[in-house]
Structure 1
């Protein structure tokens, strides 16, 4: 009788699910890998020239008003240790840990594929999604924490570690070179493409799919200055989907990011931009759209009214005056239809246009820009003409207009090597006063490894991010 109790007395988790089938792993993938509730890098926009700050005590100022700039101050002013805020609070950067968690999870899934219960097609689909996410995760890590990609020095410049582990490990990881990391990224995205092609058919925009894989491949090639490949992959985006660009119209009562927008290829993740860029007046400091970005839109550009909310109000202190501001309006984190981030068809036009511009194919680049603008401008608007600085600058400005506040600008600035950038941290008490900060060293385009990883991994190579003090 006692021996029969053996199995009953064994310790086992009552809520542990051991995945065995492809379906089980797909569910695990959705929760652990996609994890659309995460916002991994809320700071990304505030380091760019697309934002400025504004202090404002509105028509009905509160006795205690919030300063929504404080958590992002260290990123906005390009501090050497951006996890330490203006009042010495610690705000953890979770992007490193989260992306490497995704990488570990898909390593495990890819390793377990042959043993999973399910059809070959189901396994190919899960493999495609896994390779896609691993490529995307390394791409994001490389452009946050690695040195900018330069063709001539890619085999020497340090990027981020490559993790090949298929279980939890305390192994100290060292940085690989840009050449090694991007070879890994390219290999993964090409495997994803082959898997999705084998599966065939159309997928929901809420899972990685063939058109989004081609688009990511185009982006990866563009960042490596492999312009011919960027064009070929962009061509493949158009061949793999029949969805059209979304036609903007005046007084559109829908968010640009919605199920009505059929140019969205993959919808994922969340945003907290609405926490720091608000149109209401119950604050004493926040971030708003920069004048420089607003001025890029002409009066017949429907993106100005569809992508941004214009607000006018009367400030009461420190000096009474009328105030106007723009805040982003492409999405709402409370939208019930799509997530707050997207791979969109318009990027394929812009990637192909930039690649052609860099290759000197001016007319082909302009053709792509003008086709995109057919869906963005008021009817009858004249075609876009060359910027006085040439076709490359023409494309870069259109890219900035189209992709504003979608996480592209910081990565574009660092790959262009734009210097200097300047931000003013405005005084809450003295009208017209504030501290001016400048990003003048390209080393500042590389974020420091988060404290959580530095404390754990004592062997990883560290970069010194320049100190950032107010300009005297």
Structure 2
């Protein structure tokens, strides 16, 4: 009997038989529940769709030094991001995760071992599949809109390890419905809390809250934010954290960081992230420890600049206590007592500002409270992978009419609020080999 473990490698969309080809390296057949546990405990990788948002700046002098064509083209909102022969690393990473999840879902209940463990791992795989489809549908599709979601193109939705058959894009509604079903079903067997490399009820509650928030179902989003916070409402006081050599806050390692309910990293590392002037302007740069100590002087990275950049090159997209609090605050601001929403913001901000310098927020109206929540969400979740999605939902749900502009090497680029370029293009290589995949209009 072989005790090898699958190493599942996702190849990019090349044809109906090798687009999501799951190929073991070596002769690898999982047989025991422990084998499937190792599959699910792999480091989770996600997208790196940050460069289109208004939070990121690419400095002209480093344009072709730190960044690839994909980052530069997404930063400019170009028609295409990849060369015709190139893969899309974030698409590939998320479908790789989905391929692993589909294998576990289809096989683990028949494996050897403890029955409780089998059902827990089966539930984790469903929840992680839902998380990856949530990211995919929000990157490569229009924002969810109830009136049109059944017609809007989503992404190919695969639930089987078998890779034959059509790769037509399911509707946004279909993808969201299945995300919801997977998450709800997973709750029956997940542990309430777990090591943050494993999905738990706590993390699924936050993900459900996020999903319903994006669907503008605010009462449901509030319900699940409350459930998450009932299990974990811990926040670090940033005043108690020391600085490292680069003048960045020294947090506990991600694996033991009590604010991170599920740890999720990007599939791309080593990219310089500089905050845009627009986002820098919303911080109190004298008192807000998030700005002073979560960014660092650029010269620590060997750059000839006094400006500040993000203090890490590994983008973190996890599910956190702070996100649950912000979801709750937004839902209450939209549907309930907006003063209660401001109280939640103040409770969060008090832990982020230098002792003795914090001035509490106040709002005079519901609309003002909503704007304060949005602004705080932007500060707290800087480079956490949600700003691009938030901009899309504000334009869709709130008619915010947000238009983005930037200048790159003297050329002005504009992304109007109603532009189809808010939806990322699918790599051309995949469509050439799989013509049933319809490209997004750009």
The TM-score normalised by the length of structure 1 is 0.78
After superposition, the Cα gap between the structure-2 partners of 1:161 and 1:423, relative to the gap in structure 1 and judged at 3 Å, is same
Alpha-carbon distance, 1:177 to partner: 1.8
Does the 8 Å contact 2:106/2:160 carry over to 1? no
Per-residue Cα deviation, 1:208-254 (whole angstroms, up to 9, x for no partner): 2221111111101101111011111011111223x611111276334
Alpha-carbon RMSD across the aligned residues, in angstroms, is 2.8
Of the candidates 369, 377, 398, which is equivalent to residue 353 of structure 2? 377
Of the candidates 295, 319, 342, which is equivalent to residue 308 of structure 1? 295
Alpha-carbon distance, 1:307 to partner: 1.6
Of the candidates 199, 205, 225, which is equivalent to residue 196 of structure 2? 205
Tell me the SS of whatever aligns to 1:437.
Answer: strand
In the other structure, the counterpart of 1:172 is 166
Of the candidates 169, 176, 179, which is equivalent to residue 182 of structure 1? 176
Tell me the SS of whatever aligns to 1:151.
Answer: coil
In the other structure, the counterpart of 1:446 is 423
Tell me the SS of whatever aligns to 1:28.
Answer: helix
Question: Is 1:405 the equivalent of 2:392?
Answer: no
Tell me the SS of whatever aligns to 1:134.
Answer: helix
Number of residue equivalences: 402
In the other structure, the counterpart of 2:310 is 328
After superposition, the Cα gap between the structure-2 partners of 1:271 and 1:385, relative to the gap in structure 1 and judged at 3 Å, is farther
Does the 8 Å contact 2:187/2:201 carry over to 1? yes
Per-residue Cα deviation, 1:144-178 (whole angstroms, up to 9, x for no partner): 11111112222222212222333232x12222222
Question: Is 1:18 the equivalent of 2:29?
Answer: yes
In the other structure, the counterpart of 2:57 is 52
Question: Is 1:41 the equivalent of 2:47?
Answer: yes
Which of 302-311 and 250-259 deviates more?
250-259
In the other structure, the counterpart of 2:187 is 193
Alpha-carbon distance, 1:180 to partner: 1.4
In the other structure, the counterpart of 2:99 is 104
Gaps of 5+ in 1: 1-12, 58-64, 278-287, 317-321, 334-338, 427-433, 466-472
Pairing 1:416-427 to 2, within 5 Å after superposition? 416-417=394-395, 418-426=401-409
After superposition, the Cα gap between the structure-2 partners of 1:127 and 1:224, relative to the gap in structure 1 and judged at 3 Å, is same
After superposition, the Cα gap between the structure-2 partners of 1:341 and 1:167, relative to the gap in structure 1 and judged at 3 Å, is same
Alpha-carbon distance, 1:332 to partner: 5.7
Alpha-carbon distance, 1:264 to partner: 1.1
Of the candidates 253, 272, 277, which is equivalent to residue 276 of structure 1? 272
Alpha-carbon distance, 1:419 to partner: 2.8
Question: Is 1:358 the equivalent of 2:364?
Answer: no
After superposition, the Cα gap between the structure-2 partners of 1:144 and 1:258, relative to the gap in structure 1 and judged at 3 Å, is same
Rg larger in structure: 1
Tell me the SS of whatever aligns to 2:308.
Answer: strand
Does the 8 Å contact 2:47/2:93 carry over to 1? no
In the other structure, the counterpart of 1:291 is 277
Of the candidates 215, 219, 222, which is equivalent to residue 213 of structure 2? 222
After superposition, the Cα gap between the structure-2 partners of 1:90 and 1:409, relative to the gap in structure 1 and judged at 3 Å, is farther
The TM-score normalised by the length of structure 2 is 0.83
Gaps of 5+ in 2: 1-23, 396-400
Q: For the residues of structure 1 that align with 2:268 and 2:361, how far apart are their CA atoms?
A: 34
